[in-house]
Amino acid sequence: MNPVNRPAPARRVLVTGASGMLGGAVAQLLREQGHHVRTFQRRASQGATDEVLGSLTDPGQLARAVDSMDAVIHLAAKVSFTGRWEEFVATNIEGTKHLLDAAEAAGARDFVFVSSPSVAHFGEPLAGADAGTADPAKARGSYARSKAAAELDALSRNSQEFRVAAIRPHVVWGPGDTQLVERVLERAKSGRLPLLDQGAALIDTTYIDNAAAAIVRGLERMEQAQGLALVVTNGEPRQVGELIAGICRAGGAPSPKFSVPGWLARGAGAVIERVWLAAGARNLVHDEPPMTRFLAEQLSTAHWFDQRETRRVLDWQPEVTIDHGLEKLAAHYGGKAPLPAR
């Protein structure tokens, strides 16, 4: 066998957040490649034979989770458009610190921190941008600020003895996605899904299979990726309106019929978020307000990224195109494959 094509040796890998869509896909891919996978999350996940249940806020539980592990892929996080800052600090900042401490103490060699491009998105359009540097002071929203602080902490630990890389998948979606797809379909079916600025903003997204493969590849290519933050996308920028229309067709929902100016949505989102938090309001379905300033910015501001450095470092290419992903999504919902988004 050619040494270049020889499979990587089996390793013992801890995956946090494996009960989520992306964490579950990462754990499954690792298993398929022959690695021993231990999962760590709050609730039990399907297919796990080695599982530790617990919280990132409990150092003792984390110590048990990392015991005898060669590597850690850290996906668990508080992911929300709103919420109290203290909650993001406890899980995303302090929780990551506890896990890093535990992994180093246990002798794990590699640590992949799954981050977000939002840690270096400061509200301005990004067109063909590089990854940029995480900045908690400038990032928009509590999730992005807390992930930025955690990413900086993680990368500061990188050494030859404890190698750390940050992988930032951007807008991950696919069958079973409750963060984007289900919210789009629910609001579209109820007639509560407007486009912002006619849906003209150009954005990158990442199909779930591609995101999982890139994260695992980050672990395999740690020698090249250590110390770096790499944005991962499909590399197929689409207008927001085109992508949302494709998701709606795949899920059997009507496409949005009206548009709201982006500036108006951003202002309204800021007000709604403050009122929502102050009143302790709760959306019975998602526990999220209908709009926030961060969400309005994401839907009305261009953000797509130069993928050349990511693909060079990881020696990786996405295998599922946006249109193929929409076909898979339509099959998931039992419908016909949607027409291409363009």
CB 10, CB 36: distance < 8 Å:
yes
**CA-CA distances (angstroms) from residue 101 to 59, 97, 298?**
9, 6, 33
What are 303's strand-pairing partners?
126, 203
* φ/ψ of residue 81, rounded to 5: -80, -15
Question: 272 vs 186, 191, 266, 301, CA distance in Å?
Answer: 20, 19, 10, 20
Active site residue 143: yes
The residue annotated as part of the active site, out of 40, 111, 143, 305, is 143
Cβ contacts of residue 280 below 8 Å, gap of 6+?
none
Tell me the three state secondary structure of residue 45: coil
Beta-bridged to residue 202, according to DSSP, are: 239
Tokens at residue 288, please?
């999220």
Residue 203 has φ and ψ, to the nearest 5°, of -135, 155
User: Whose CA is closest to 300, among 203, 233, 235?
Assistant: 203
> What is the Cα–Cα distance from 2 to 193, expressed in whole angstroms?
52
DSSP E strands: which ranges in 217-267?
229-232, 238-239, 259-260
- The dihedral built from the CA positions of residue 232, 238, 240 and 241, taken in this order, carries a sign that is negative
3-state helix, strand, coil in the chain (%, to 5): 45, 15, 40
Among 267, 276, 300, 264, residue whose Cα is nearest residue 82:
276
User: Nearest 5°: CA angle at 23, between 323 and 63?
Assistant: 165
Residue positions annotated with a catalytic role: 143
